[in-house]
Amino acid sequence: MNTKVKTESIGKIVLKGARKAIKQLIEERKKTDDYLVVSRNGKVVKVKARSLK
């Protein structure tokens, strides 16, 4: 395996893990009916977790 292929596969693994962590965070916040703070169009916004998918 060359370095480029290793880097791409590690990147895919990291991205997959990040998506899983975000989904778990949203589910946890939905259970407690809490807010998440996100950036939309460069502005910080407070969003109800229930409004996210």
Domain tally, the chain: 1
Residues 1-36 pLDDT 10s: 578 778 888 999 999 999 999 999 999 999 999 999
Per-residue pLDDT band for 37 (boundaries 50, 70, 90) equals very high
Residue 1 has a pLDDT of 55
- Domain encompassing residue 29: 3-51
Q: What would the two tokens of residue 4 be?
A: 């480029």
Q: Are 39 and 45 in contact (CB under 8 A)?
A: yes
Residue 19 half-sphere exposure, CB side, CA atoms within 13 Å?
Answer: 7
Per-residue pLDDT band for 50 (boundaries 50, 70, 90) equals confident
Residue 23 has a pLDDT of 93
pTM score above 0.75:
no
